[in-house]
Amino acid sequence: MAELQIGDKAPAITAKNQKGETIQLSDFTGKKVILYFYPKDNTPGCTTEACNFRDNYQALLKDGFEVLGVSIDSEQSHQKFISKHELPFNLLADEDQKIVNDYGVWVEKNMYGKKYMGTARTTFVIDEGGVIQHIIKKVDNKNATQQIRDLLAQ
């Protein structure tokens, strides 16, 4: 599958959130969506990024955004992550790796010389019509919201 580009229609998503409810990307038509992919619940970088979105969530809502996090963790893992860090947005469970594959973020990684498959931390900013406006591949975990604001201000 070709790599997603700015201006592409965002691939459809249907997944369970932390409560077992079915969430579809199309549920958010008319809203801008920050769709962020992260490797694993309750790891340092992923926690920092999620808490940055949490701390800026009300301002993002005010600006017309919804935030959706996606990892290959289970609904139960997402529940623990959300309750531990009081995250106010949905985390989608992509245990079958369909979404990470559709978005091209399931990649070969290399840690300490060991190669393995994993999720590349990537953020997609999707407009009200479901079109990809921005793709952030070098995510600044501590300043994830500001990074998006800076892009939108350009």
Q: Domain extents for the chain?
A: 14-153
Residues 122 and 38: their CA atoms lie apart, in Å, by 7
Q: What is the pTM of this model?
A: 0.95
Rounded to the nearest angstrom, the gap between the alpha carbon of residue 108 and the centroid of all alpha carbons in its chain is 19
Q: What is the pLDDT of residue 16?
A: 97
Is the pLDDT at 47 greater than 80? The verdict is yes
The mean per-residue pLDDT over the stretch 37-55 comes to 96
pLDDT one-digit tens code per residue, 81-105:
999 999 999 999 999 999 999 999 9
Q: What is the pLDDT of residue 154?
A: 83
Q: What are the phi and psi torsion angles at 108 (to 5°)? A: -75, 130
Domain 14-153 is in which class? alpha beta
51 is catalytic: no
The mean per-residue pLDDT over the stretch 19-30 comes to 95
List 46, 50, 60, 126, catalytic entry: 46
Residues 80 and 36: their CA atoms lie apart, in Å, by 19
Q: What are the phi and psi torsion angles at 130 (to 5°)? A: 85, 20
- The answer to whether the CB of 123 falls within 8 A of the CB of 33 is no
Token pair for 42? 């309750």
